[in-house]
Amino acid sequence: MNQEVQTATIGKIHGENIEVLPQDLYIPPDALEIYLEAFEGPLDLLLYLIRKHNLDILDIPMADLTIQYMDYVEKMKEIKLELAADYLLMSAVLIEIKSRMLLPKKTAEVDTEQDPRAELVRRLMEYELIKIASEKLTQMPQVGVDLFVANAYFEKITEITYPDVSIDEIFAAWKNILNRAKHFEAHKVARNELSVREHMTMILRKLQEEEFVEFSSLFDVAEDRIQKLVVCFLAILELARERLIKITQQESFSPIYIKLQIN
Amino acid sequence: MTDLNNISKIKQILEVALLTSANPLSLDDLQKLFSEKIERSTLRMLLDELKTEWQDRTMELVLVASGYRFKAREEYASYLMRLSPEKVAKYSRAVMEVLAIVAYRQPVTRGEIEEIRGVALNPNAIRQLQERDWIDVIGQKDVPGRPSLYATTKHFLNDFNLRSLSELPDIESFLQNEIPLNV
Amino acid sequence: MTDLNNISKIKQILEVALLTSANPLSLDDLQKLFSEKIERSTLRMLLDELKTEWQDRTMELVLVASGYRFKAREEYASYLMRLSPEKVAKYSRAVMEVLAIVAYRQPVTRGEIEEIRGVALNPNAIRQLQERDWIDVIGQKDVPGRPSLYATTKHFLNDFNLRSLSELPDIESFLQNEIPLNV
């Protein structure tokens, strides 16, 4: 088949007579493997052949190209290079195009729309564009390779960022505790007016500052409302009951003093 | 690379290396920048000059254990932190329960908190609340071991926008019909 | 923070943020630096001034897809590359071709990539580009098998110092100049 192809079409490229295949098509065998592995696929190989021999991509001499391509594929087989199916598929495509071009044309005029090579040309051109794009991208500076960006240091402030808490969350936690307590230790959660507890804390705080606090100084009988007086009194009793404070009086009707049980 | 004879070009290369490096660069590292050998003394001198050139600017050239680096002046740190705020953690359930107990049952000892919760208390829970200045020690209880008494602070009231503890949600009324109160 | 009224202080904060951030900072990011609102137009103006101030210096302020950043001027790249020669390896030609196809023909399926290249695709090529965060899946094509559609990411544009895909090198004009199209 090679013979037939050569006699049929190798004679003319763009009207010029070509008698023999150019010798430089043939790569020394030891270099061949490296060359073949360098191709990204059949389109890459075809483009290489077209560019190397200055063939017109829009008017590809199919016979030439097919011969050259098949030659490489044969060489690949010879050196047992693992041959991708894509290369064999392309062989079939080339041969098919070549055969269709050998068929007599209905009209003298070449209808490029129906040129059997059109699809191959489109694919070759598209692939060539991508090759160019790929080379351009490779040449562009890239961060991490040859493009360097500012990355100076700053000392992080170990500022303590506290979680947000809402009063509802405290309430929910408290409800949870009480619900648990209800099941086994209800009696531990004694009922006390919150304001009594608050006054207990206030009195204890006061006793942190002064050793003795006069009982009557804890409230202003004239100013405070009766509820406040009651609450304060209850707080003092509760503190005494919990043995947190001592209540002392030197003699009857002398001032009553409160001091911490311990200090 | 004859332009390297130009000492200011070397200095520029040092500057750009230090500004683009995530890690401090030692004199050995900096020597690698140049194909010809630059004396360490020369590098030190140039780094000194660089430091001076930047002394009124946003960054400062500092020497740390592993080498030189540019670091943002401290005054900018608070702004920079806004770009990547640290994740705010949540308080554990234990911490929230301790807070609730101290708020509603103050003054309380650690032992009482444990008794109410029915489990031993991780000391961390109290420490976290003290750090936050929500609770503090207001005395010791006159029982063996003289345990500290905890109560909520003014700061706690402020943070929760309360005038007094009595403004806390009213749990007693909430539970009134549920718990047999035997005090 | 009344000193923020001082416009030069704002500019300094922008500078220091951009010099210490490894990633580009958008106007939204930069606004976060300040507790009070700085208009985007003000930021743009100050960034412009900053760019001018640095124009004869070692770094340049550039705008890429995700925002602003300082990058070393190209003339320093050869020196900086000596610092860490074991940097990210350049990708193989196959990987770069896949990247080019995704960049110029996006969104594309794996099958379309294989058709353009005329060869079966090593799944590694796509994986490598995804790991680098240069391409990702942006959907499925509504054809049998519902193949994934790949597109480039913002990160790809940032890494190639591009603001948008339209800044990619123009390959179509290359083709038109080279080849008389009479198909």
Q: Cβ of C13 under 8 Å from any chain A Cβ?
A: no
Left (φ > 0), alpha (ψ -120 to 50) or beta: where does B53 sit? alpha
Q: Cβ of B103 under 8 Å from any chain A Cβ?
A: yes
Tell me, what's the pLDDT at B12?
95
Note the pTM of the prediction, 2 decimals.
Answer: 0.65
Tens of pLDDT, residue by residue over A21-76, are: 444 555 555 565 666 667 888 999 999 889 888 888 888 888 889 998 998 888 77
Tens of pLDDT, residue by residue over C10-28, are: 999 999 999 999 899 999 9
Q: Cβ C72–A44 below 8 Å, yes or no?
A: no
In the structure encoding, which two tokens stand for residue A221, read together?
């009988």
Torsion of CA B103, B106, B107, B109, to 10 degrees: -70
Q: What is the DSSP string of A98-138?
A: HHHHHSPPSSSS--GGG-TTHHHHHHHHHHHHHHHHHHHHH
Tell me, what's the pLDDT at A86?
83
- pLDDT in 10s for each residue of chain A, 263 residues: 333 333 333 344 444 444 444 445 555 555 656 666 678 889 999 998 898 888 888 888 888 899 989 988 887 777 666 666 888 889 889 998 988 888 776 655 555 557 888 889 999 999 999 999 999 999 998 888 888 899 888 877 766 667 788 888 888 888 888 887 766 544 444 455 677 888 888 888 888 888 888 887 887 777 667 777 788 888 888 888 888 888 888 888 888 888 888 75
pLDDT mean across residues, chain C: 89
Tell me, what's the pLDDT at A169?
87
The rounded percent of chain C whose pLDDT value lies above 90 is 73
Tell me, what's the pLDDT at C57?
94
Q: What is the DSSP string of B42-86?
A: HHHHHHHHHHHHTTTSSEEEEEETTEEEEEE-GGGHHHHHHHSPP
Q: Cβ A169–B96 below 8 Å, yes or no?
A: yes
Q: Cβ A133–C77 below 8 Å, yes or no?
A: no
Position C135 pLDDT exceeds 90: yes
Give which of B119, B165, B177 to mutate to test A binding, by max A Cβ within 10 Å: B165
Tell me, what's the pLDDT at A182?
67
Residues in chain A with CB shorter than 8 Å from the CB of C74 are 141
| Element holding C69 (H helix, E strand) | strand C67-72
How far, rounded to the nearest angstrom, does the alpha carbon of residue C96 sit from its chain's CA centroid? Answer: 16
Nearest to A155 among B74, B99, B131 (CB): B74
> CA-based angle A213:A218:A220, to the nearest 5?
140
Of residues A74, A79, A21, the one with CA closest to residue A52:
A21
Q: Cβ of B105 under 8 Å from any chain C Cβ?
A: no
Low-confidence ranges of chain B (pLDDT < 70): 1-5, 85-88, 171-183
Of residues C71, C160, C14, the one with CA closest to residue B16:
C71
Which chains share 3+ C-beta pairs under 8 angstroms with C? A, B
Of residues B166, B164, B103, the one with CA closest to residue B129:
B103
Tens of pLDDT, residue by residue over B84-125, are: 766 567 888 889 999 999 999 889 999 899 888 888 888 788
Average pLDDT rounded to a whole number, residues C146-170: 94
3-state helix, strand, coil in chain B (%, to 5): 50, 15, 35
Q: Cβ of C26 under 8 Å from any chain B Cβ?
A: no
Q: What is the DSSP string of A9-37?
A: HTTEETTEE--S--GGGPPPHHHHHHHHH
Amino acid identity for residue C86 in this structure: E
Give which of A149, A170, A236 to mutate to test B binding, by max B Cβ within 10 Å: A170
